[in-house]
Structure 1
């Protein structure tokens, strides 16, 4: 048997296990809250805004990485900077800037 087939199988099993544990724990937690008398409508309120925040930050992060690659390309063509150092530097810098912008935008969403 080829060992290389075990890598995708184990990856699938790990992802399945994480999703299963998350969903089963969330279900048990919600059932316990309902048994104690909490209203069931509290579970649907925050999920929509949480998804918006995650999508906003992910979109800004990916745009920041793209802009970082583009700026690094321009700097490597038109300057004498080291090409091996400018790409990671610009990618991390622009990703950090985009996450900071995302943080500020989520603060405005809460207001």
Structure 2
């Protein structure tokens, strides 16, 4: 278990044992210097997260009115009504389809 403590000046403290545990969980090897540096970085990150949380807690709660932005259900447009416009914007077209680079291969 990782124990993150707060000091008297209300900043977070992460010790090197905690960093060693995190390194084990992440399956990475860290030197003592790296653990010390990462401890300081993690303390700074946690301090920033705390500041953001405090600001978020103090901010007024905004309740936006939800509104349906979709069109009303009804008769849809004719099939192919926008095909020419869409195909004209495509970089490559083949037999009335947008031509794209193959990115999936079958094994």
Superposition TM-score, scaled by structure 1 size: 0.34
Looking at secondary structure, tell me which structure has more strand per residue: 2
For CA contacts below 8 A with separation 6 or more, give which structure has more relative contact order. Answer: 1
Q: Which has the larger radius of gyration?
A: 2
**Alignment TM-score, normalising by the size of structure 2:** 0.35
